[in-house]
Structure 1
Amino acid sequence: MNHPPSFDGLPEFLAVARRLSVTKAALDLGRTAGSVSQALQRLEQRLGIPLFHRTTRRMSMTEAGHALLEKVEPAAHAIATGLEDAAQSAQAPSGTLRLIVERLALPHVIEPVLPSFRKAWPNLNVEITVSNRHENFVSEAYDAGILIGSYIAQDMIAVRLCKPYQWAVFGSPAYFKVHGKPQMTSDLIQHECIRFRRPEKGDIYRWEFLENGSTVRIDPMGAITVNDGELMRSLAVNGVGLIYSSTFHTSRELAAGTLEPALLDCSPGSDGLFLYFSKTAKNQPKLRAFIDMCTSILKP
């Protein structure tokens, strides 16, 4: 009679793969380093392949280890989430809500929502990671993330946190007084453009417009390239050049009159800031409580 494969050693494998350290993995699991190492060795013996390269100073994963991780990590996360959902299904919000949020969400979502959320649920812990790189959302076991809608994976559930906004070109009143406002996308070649290198991809973000029913993408020309949105907006406020951003990202500068839009009529469409999460996490009381608080305060 054939028995199903044993799960023995998989928790230890996942912990070591995440940390690339037996000692750190043992601390995460509340175990001794020796017991974790032995469990890992038994798993490798059972599979007949090494999963890690080991030296006296460091560990790294073998090709077989990477292949196994890609297959079992999503399933392990789904199992962990399922068990947590089952345990919390009839309970009030509890435990720790782990969020990964892009920096833009801090003033627009986290700062206005978190004080009321903590007051409503004082026994619920909140852990927030500020990052524009969300590719490790599943492997790092976050409950939810906050990101611009167009960047969210299609298999996630997304809840809008702000009204739709438009993409456009922005510059300071002083810059436009000297150089004039571009009236067509072809005018941009005559202007100093501040380029943005996306931290999550490393490429230069292309400026996108809609002209005569067709999408136009422009590689901006300029002597300055940055990878931080706040710095980019600050440079534009100081008249250094034009930037490509949104009416949401620049809302404070627009309200203060330190930036003005151009080419709004060529905006490629509306986007927004969204809270996103996996289908398996949607029924967690702690997450539902946070969603309810966001929609109540932000009224998107």
Structure 2
Amino acid sequence: MTRSDPFDGLSEFLSIAKHGSIRKAALELGVTPGAISQALQKLERKMGTPLFHRTTRRISLTETGDAFLNKVGPAAQLIESSIEETTQTASQPSGTLRLVVERLALRHVIDPILPTFRQQWPLINLDITVSNQHSDFISQGYDAGILLGSYIPQEMIAIRLSPPFKWAVFGSPAYFARHGRPQTPADLNNHTCIKFKRPEKGDIYRWEFLDDGQTVRIDPTGPITVNDAEAMRRMASQGLGLIYSSTFHSSLEIASGELEPVLLDYSPGGDGLFLYFTKAAQGQPKLRAFIDTCSGLRRLQSP
């Protein structure tokens, strides 16, 4: 009796789960949608359970499919990275480095290092996704991400890319001239605040302070809500209200005099941008090359 290949259908399954589409999976794997469907049906028959919910417009993982993805996704990434690593040499890293980075990292990390990285490592292709949503980091096949340290899961390896920065309240000189400066977090109840709706969660970000070692969280109030941090800073620069940001996020506006920080004595402080990745990924030459380039950026940032 012919022994079945345990890997039959896995590439198709992972690609459908990644894209949420049979058509897009077919494009990625270079086959027809019909071939993708047949491979998936064969895998589901072998496993004895449906892995996807299907409608005429949408395909989504079943509970069993989601559990299966959580098990095989990391293993598939490890296999792929191991194959790439085997075909690379330490002196000439190559392949595609897939990064997911929050928008802030473009200006402060990617822009400064990209020319040097491309010059030093011409055989490495970069696939950069700009997003604040990193929850599908492993299943989406990323090699590494750049994110605020407070959002990175503890099981990840993280390397600091920016100096520690403070969180504070910011306003324009014109706003402070009209309304005065809050002296304590409680004073914010008498001010107009611009609320930030987090794109990754859809909730309103609460403003956090430290008062005598105790964490104080305030729900900002005001007529404007926005889900883009850059737009939020522009509105504050126009004197439309106060915002909660960091000295790092708002560094350009601080330097130009458009925004001024207040309540710095109540700042939680200490956060920063970090490059993060799994333990399984850290040995990849292409990732090590990127880490080395980032280390050069850190040396330039050090006082």
Global fold match (TM > 0.5): yes
Tell me the C-alpha RMSD between the 2 structures: 2.0
Unaligned runs of 5+ in 2: none
Cα distance in 2, alignment partners of residues 206 and 22 from structure 1: 40
Structure-2 residue corresponding to 1:18: 18
- Match of 2:43, SS state, is helix
> Which range moves more in the overlay, 37-46 or 288-297?
37-46
1:94 is matched by which residue type in structure 2?
S
Go from structure 1 to structure 2 and tell me whether the alpha carbon gap of 1:271 and 1:53 turns closer, same or farther (over 3 Å shift): closer
Give CA deviations for 1:207-240 in whole Å, capped at 9, x if unaligned. Answer: 1111112110110111111111101111111111
Could you tell me which amino acid in structure 1 is paired with residue 147 of structure 2?
L
Per the alignment, in what secondary structure is the counterpart of residue 275 of structure 2? strand
Moved more, 278-287 or 68-77: 68-77
**TM-score normalised by length of structure 1:** 0.92
Shift of 1:99: 1.1
Amino acid paired to 1:226: V
- Please report how far the alpha carbon of residue 78 of structure 1 lies from its aligned counterpart in structure 2 after TM superposition: 2.5
- The 2-side partners of 1:141 and 1:20 are apart by 14
Query: What's the CA shift for 1:56?
Result: 5.1
Q: Is this contact kept in 2: 1:89–1:284, CA < 8 A? A: no
After TM superposition, the runs of 4+ consecutive aligned structure 1 residues lying more than 6 A away are none
Deviations 1:79-126 (A, max 9, x none): 222333333364521111111111111111111110111122223211
Name the structure 2 match of 1:65.
65
Identity of matched residues, %: 64
Query: Against the structure 1 CA distance between its residues 224 and 65, is the aligned structure 2 distance closer, same or farther, given a 3 Å change threshold?
Result: same
Task: Note if contact 2:84-2:95 (Cα within 8 Å) is conserved in structure 1.
Answer: no
Unaligned runs of 5+ in 1: none
Distance 1:167 1:109 in 2: 20
Q: Which amino acid aligns with 1:50?
A: P
Secondary structure class of the residue paired with 2:132: coil
Matched residue, 1:98: 98
Matches of residues 245-260 of structure 1 in structure 2 within 5 Å? 245-260=245-260
**Does structure 2 retain, via aligned residues, the 8 Å contact 1:210–1:266?**
yes
- Whichever residue aligns with residue 256 of structure 1, its letter is S
* Residue aligned with 1:165, SS: coil
The separation in 2 between residues aligned to 1:40 and 1:225, in whole angstroms, is: 44
- Residue in 2 aligned with 1:280? 280
- Structure 1 residue 288, shift from structure 2 partner: 1.2
The farther-off stretch of 285-294 and 188-197 is 285-294
CA distance in 1, matches of 2:25, 2:86: 26
CA spacing shift, 1:90–1:110, aligned 2, 3 Å: closer
Tell me, in whole angstroms, the C-alpha distance in 1 between the residues paired with 2:257 and 2:108. 19
In the alignment, what sits opposite 1:151? 151
How many residue pairs match? The answer is 298
Q: Distance in 1 between matches of 2:93 and 2:259?
A: 42
Q: Is the 8 A contact 1:170 1:242 kept in 2?
A: yes
Alignment correspondent of 2:229: 229
How far apart are 1:57 and its partner, in Å? 5.1
Counterpart contact for 1:89–1:283, Cα < 8 Å: no
Change (3 A) 1:65 1:264: same
Q: d(CA) in 2 for partners of 1:279 and 1:270?
A: 24
Task: Report the equivalent of 1:111.
Answer: 111
- Asked if the contact 1:82–1:280 (Cα under 8 Å) also holds between the matched residues in 2, the reply is no
Give the partner amino acid of 2:126: V
Q: Which moved more, 1:3-12 or 1:202-211?
A: 3-12
- Conserved? CA contact 2:69–2:139, under 8 Å: no
Counterpart Cα distance in 2 of 1:225 and 1:193: 9
- Taking a change above 3 Å as real, the CA distance of residues 57 and 243 of structure 1, as seen in their structure-2 partners, is closer
The residue aligned with 2:42 is 42
Q: Is the 8 A contact 1:15 1:28 kept in 2?
A: yes
- Kindly state the Cα deviation for residue 76 of structure 1 after the two structures are TM-superposed: 1.8
Query: 1:177 corresponds to which residue?
Result: 177
Would you say the 8 A contact 1:85–1:281 is kept in 2? no
CA contact (8 A) 2:168 2:267 kept: yes
- In structure 2, what is the Cα distance between the partners aligned to 1:210 and 1:4? 61
Q: By how many angstroms is 1:298 displaced?
A: 3.7
* SS of 2:231 mapped into structure 1: helix
* SS of aligned partner of 1:195: strand
